[in-house]
């Protein structure tokens, strides 16, 4: 696996907290990718991830000490398209964008951000698609955010219950965790107003878990790691449960219509997409969340 483009040689601009969080996100990526490749092997596929490093740019030019990341992408028999990206970037927000970011303003637009972002679109319409993201940002403040949500074209109550139970357990085991609030936050956030429907069956979403001192950083980081572990535990189980099911042309059409709605949300409402585009992120990595095929009919 290719390492992140943020090396020890240029890490002087990054706080130790950012470097620590980045190392965890990269280790989680490795374990997730290994597990997804193992599922492909079980299905008789030799598909594997390709890893493409990138450096942060502004107006087409590299940003000195701006960081970058690695885009991981696999197209296989089970995972029609799955992206697992890690990035660690820094610089300054534009004045108008800084005004919308926690702890930043036009007079103090500096930031660093590190995180992992994952979206999986599945070949079998009975297997739920999924999104997961955790991140650590610093401006004049520092905080963790993230979560995960399940997006089945054909929902199964058992899958929904198991997915939520995994995140409830992660929340209940850590003081910063608040399952009821974070579940409600996800229900509110992952909603398509112009359709009047939710994007999927929910999960958890949290943001601005602020780290004003070492104690709060340790607690919020431990909770964020628990969210990643919960995802790695539950989602492969759901994939293995459904990936051998037969499907009909009607099932596939239902999946493609649902994917159209997923694309609408990510292009119109998703904050992560906007953040990446506003901060000189890699376009292909940002838009890896879009499905490989969709219909609007």
Residues 6+ apart with CB under 8 A from 166: 230, 231, 233, 234
For 235-260, give the secondary structure using H, E and C.
HHHHHHHHCCCCCCHHHHHHHHHHHH
Report the candidate in 51, 26, 36, 40 with the shortest Cα–Cα distance to residue 284.
51
SS3 state of residue 140 = coil
User: Considering only CA atoms, which of 247, 46, 218, 38 is closest in space to residue 127?
Assistant: 247
Calculate the alpha carbon distances from 101 to 56, 216, 237, 271 in Å. Answer: 19, 20, 36, 11
Active site residue 121: no
Question: What distance in Å separates the CA atoms of residue 4 and residue 10, rounded to the nearest whole number?
Answer: 12
Sign of CA pseudo-dihedral 275, 277, 279, 284? positive
Task: Decide: 18 and 83 in contact? Cβ < 8 Å.
Answer: no
The Cβ of residue 61 has, within 10 Å, a number of other Cβ atoms equal to: 9
In the set 131, 164, 194, 198, the catalytic residue is 131
> Which tokens in the block code for residue 7?
């090396």
Query: Which amino acids are annotated catalytic?
Result: 131
């Amino acid at each position: 696996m290719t390492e992140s483009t943020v090396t020890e040689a240029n890490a002087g601009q990054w706080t130790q907290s950012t470097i620590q969080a980045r190392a965890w996100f990269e280790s989680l990526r490795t374990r997730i990718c290994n597990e997804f490749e193992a599922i492909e092997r079980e299905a008789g596929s030799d598909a594997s991830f390709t890893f493409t490093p990138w450096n942060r740019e502004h107006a087409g030019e590299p940003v000195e000490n701006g960081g970058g990341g690695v885009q991981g992408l696999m197209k296989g028999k089970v995972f029609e398209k799955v992206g697992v990206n890690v990035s660690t970037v820094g610089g300054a927000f534009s004045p108008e964008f800084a005004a919308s970011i926690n702890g930043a303003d036009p007079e103090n637009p500096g930031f660093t951000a590190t995180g992992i972002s994952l979206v999986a679109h599945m070949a079998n319409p009975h297997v739920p698609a999924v999104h997961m993201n955790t991140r650590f940002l610093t401006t004049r403040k520092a905080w963790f955010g993230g979560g995960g949500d399940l997006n089945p074209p054909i929902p199964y109550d058992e899958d929904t219950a198991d997915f939520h139970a995994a995140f409830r357990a992660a929340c209940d085991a850590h003081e910063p965790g608040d399952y009821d609030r974070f579940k409600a936050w996800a229900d509110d956030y992952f909603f398509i107003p112009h359709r009047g429907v939710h994007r999927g069956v929910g999960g958890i979403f949290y943001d601005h878990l602020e780290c004003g001192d070492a104690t709060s950083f340790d607690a919020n980081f431990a909770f964020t790691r628990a969210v990643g572990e919960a995802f790695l535990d539950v989602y492969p189980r759901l994939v293995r449960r459904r990936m051998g099911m037969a499907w009909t042309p009607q099932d596939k059409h239902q999946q493609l219509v649902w994917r159209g709605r997923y694309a609408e949300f990510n292009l119109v409402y998703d904050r992560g997409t906007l953040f990446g585009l506003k901060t000189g992120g890699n376009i292909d990595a940002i838009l890896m969340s879009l499905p490989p095929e969709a219909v609007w009919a």
